[in-house]
Structures are given as C-alpha cells and as structure tokens.
Structure 1
Amino acid sequence: MVIVAACIAANLPFVNQRLLAAGPALASHKSLWLRLLELVVLYFVVGTFALLLEQRAGQIAPQGWEFYAITGTLFVTLAFPGFVYRYLVRHRGA
C-alpha cells in the first residue's frame, strides 16, 4: 500500500499544473524547481503515511540516515515515468 501511494505521489507533480495537486491551477507552466519542491513535500507526506501505518502495526523501528537515503532514492526513481512524460515525450500542439 505504501509503495502504491509513493508511486502515485512521485508522479503527481509531473502530470498536473496544480500546486500539490489540490491547490490553485497555475496559468503558466510550473517550473522544474517547483515540481522538485513538490516532490520533496510529497516524499515527507508519504513518509508520514508509512510511519502512521507502522505505528498502528506495533513498535516503530529506528532508522538511520541510510534508510532515508534509500527511500529518497526510491522515491526519485518512482518519479521517472512522470518526468519522462513531462519533459522527454513530445506532445502534440505544444
């Protein structure tokens, strides 16, 4: 469930023009920097969701910097299809 949520959240900044998919729609295109900032925010949102699930299941396991480095890298890897769609695929009429 967490991996599916991470996959959806990682691609969300690249497939819409709204801020965090719920905010106001931007008239012009969002910049790459804004999309990357959204990616970081959504990483922490999914991490909080995973932490809540783990807390409900029992004791929370301690994590070091390695855990966050791996999950951050996985989140960026999951965002690759959205990045390819937004920046590398040629869209008609654009």
Structure 2
Amino acid sequence: MTAPMYTLLLLTLILANFPFLTQRGFGFLPLRQKRILHHIVESIIGFLIIGVIAYVLESRAGSVHAQSWEFYVTCVCLYLVFAFPAFVWRYFWQGRNKE
C-alpha cells in the first residue's frame, strides 16, 4: 500500500468516528440535543466524502475500475466497523457514567 492509501484509511477512521464524538452538528452547528438521526446523516455524508476522495485517488493512480453492488456493500460495512468504537463510547459508556 502507498502513503495515499494509509492517509485514506486514517481519514476514514476519523470521519467515521467524528459524528459520535461531538455534540455539534457537523462539528460546528450548535444543537440542543443530538439525536441518532443526526448521527446517521453525518455518517452518510462522511461516507460520501470518503468515496469521492477514494475515487479521486484511484483516478490519479490510473484507470478507475468498475464496481458492482458487492463492493459498495462491503465498503459500507467496513465504514460501520470503523465507526463502532465511537458509537460504543457514545451510547454505552456515556450512558452508564451519567447514572
């Protein structure tokens, strides 16, 4: 793997966890209470941003390969696995410490 791929993986890890680590919408919009729908929307937007960055990196490295639906399902699952640590921290550990 090359340096851009490691950078992409690190950026994916950061963007997948970011919605669960802050109370603000997209990191800067003040919200009274951030609900699960906010987290889902932010995660989808983060996934799309990562997809665009990955497409640009692949197009700069050579030809872009056509992908079928299995590729995208696998990418979504990996993105959710990357988001799991912050999700657990937000909904399981934070809730336990409040009581």
Unaligned 5+ segments in structure 1 are none
Cα distance in 2 between the residues matched to 1:58 and 1:70:
22
Q: What corresponds to 1:16 in structure 2?
A: 22
Q: 2:65 aligns with which of 58, 61, 74?
A: 61
Cα distance in 2 between the residues matched to 1:36 and 1:8:
15
Greater share of residues in helix = 2
Q: What corresponds to 1:37 in structure 2?
A: 41
Give the aligned CA root-mean-square deviation in angstroms.
Answer: 1.5
Cα distance in 2 between the residues matched to 1:70 and 1:53:
19
Q: Does 1:77 align with 2:81?
A: yes
Which letter maps to 1:24?
L
In structure 1, the residue corresponding to 2:79 is in which secondary structure? helix
Question: Scaled by the length of structure 2, what TM-score is found?
Answer: 0.85
Question: Scaled by the length of structure 1, what TM-score is found?
Answer: 0.89
User: Kindly, what percent of the aligned residue pairs are identical?
Assistant: 33
Q: Does 1:3 align with 2:22?
A: no
Deviation at 1:25, TM superposition (A): 1.8
Which letter maps to 2:56?
L
Deviation at 1:37, TM superposition (A): 1.2
Which letter maps to 1:41?
I
- Which one is further off, 50-59 or 82-91? 82-91
How many equivalent residue pairs?
Answer: 92
CA displacement 1:30-67 (0-9 Å, x = unmatched): 00111011101110001101111111111101111111
Cα distance in 2 between the residues matched to 1:69 and 1:47:
13
Q: 2:90 aligns with which of 74, 86, 89?
A: 86
Deviation at 1:7, TM superposition (A): 0.6
